[in-house]
Amino acid sequence: MAKQESIVAHPIFGEGIVEASRWDGAELRVRFRSGLELWLPAKWFRPITVKHIKLDRISSKRLLEAFRLGIVPHQDIEYFTFGRGFELSEIEVGLKRLQQGVGDVYLVEGGYGSGKTHLLEYIHHMSVKYGFVTTYCELSVQETPLYRPKRVYRELVHNLRYIKQSSEYRYRDLLKEGARMQIHDHCFLTPVLRYLRNFDDADTKNEVFWQWIEGESTKEYAIDPRSPFRVRGGQKIPALYDYSTAADYYSYILSGLSSLANKSGSGGIVIILDEVETITHIWEYDLYNRGLNFLEGLIQAALDKDDLKKFDHRMLHNRVRPTPYIYKDCHILLILASTPIHGLRGFEGVRELIQKRILLRKFSRPELELIYNNLYDVYICAYPDFVLVVSQKENIFNAALKRSYGELREFIKFSVEAFDWFRFSQSGQKNNTT
């Protein structure tokens, strides 16, 4: 296995691997992602450093438990992300635009095991770290299908986080902050915020109100005269509809929340939806189309399309309280992640609405070497008596490379499991010797 090589970034050619240097390091030969291999002045490059985390045996063993599943713990995501500088720089452009209140949509496409979910975790971490109101939903056919917008909304508000003055805040805090602002014309948020202005945090009965507003229970339960936890004055607040046709209503609420985030100085909201391809697992035609409609509504809302700021008959609307899909100006950065899907009727048209697409490439051998060396360092920290000779270390790397077909998750799992096998073998040999 070759020695660990450094990764650098060039302002025009992007990321590359340093292959050699000359003239006392004044020039570097760099192999870029595009396949170009050039000698260029070293001063033109910016080094991409790998952040090292100080590990003890307990934290390193915790990491290894996650690595055995092919994942990285959320709290360590920043220190174990390699070879995605180009993709992250693209997303960072969107984050900087959101600071100015301008939303956008990105589609991240990658096969299973390509590191797609890991990249989303890093984006989530980066967004919260920069102070954005951020939320995340992993879509699924059973729990959070796109044709059930209330369930998606419930998951999004449950996962909503943002940081201010080194403290973490959640959905309830955002609404309480919004209660001090002036929003007079939002059919749902206006009465909710008005109610919160006279809210008593010490009253435990108000938990029923929060469960209703967060989509955990229904309005009927909250305002039932027979309920000992009745929300007085709640009749004036519209219900959260559980209909599959309520795509307009939840898009309208989310765009209203983005306005709150913008007014509070956060720029807007970052919404991350993973496993978007699960929409193609819905076999019922009507439900599939309703899911597509909700997805299209979210995309066009994030793009701040003027057509959706008024009632658009082309789009799907609920029959209880139809609303536009966008409340005034929208401030949403929407990041969708999916396995590549092409040629599927309906979905392809929605996909074409997104101009910014990121196709995750498979990692190069030097990048996998970098990841492998870091895995080995973590393993040594967890088990200080463990040791591999150079040939064993190289054999494991080559086997992991061959077995994983370049898929990151399988590469990580195989490497750590191989380390385990060698460690147990070494332990058995010591016991036989004694």
Whether pTM > 0.85 for this model: the answer is no
- Give the pairing type, strands 104-109 and 356-359: parallel
Can you name the CATH fold of 1-49? SH3 type barrels. (2.30.30)
Over residues 307-349, the pLDDT tens digits come to 999 988 888 899 888 999 999 889 999 999 998 877 677 888 8
Which pLDDT belongs to residue 353?
92
Of 239, 194, 202, 237, the C-alpha closest to 219 is 239
Is 3.40.50.1100 the CATH classification of the domain at 83-144+244-359? no
**Is residue 82 pLDDT above 80, yes or no?**
no
> Where are the domains positioned within the chain?
1-49, 56-69+370-434, 83-144+244-359
Cα 51 from chain centroid (whole Å): 21
Assess whether the region 1-49 and the region 83-144+244-359 belong to the same CATH fold: no
DSSP state of 306: G
> Phi first, then psi: what are they for 357, rounded to 5°?
-120, 140
Over residues 35-76, the pLDDT tens digits come to 667 788 888 777 765 455 566 787 788 788 878 876 666 655
Give 47's strand partners: 8
Of 297, 295, 272, the C-alpha closest to 134 is 272
Over residues 190-235, the pLDDT tens digits come to 999 998 988 877 676 788 889 999 999 888 888 888 777 788 778 8
Rounded to the nearest integer, the mean pLDDT of the chain is 85
**294: its two tokens:** 């909700």
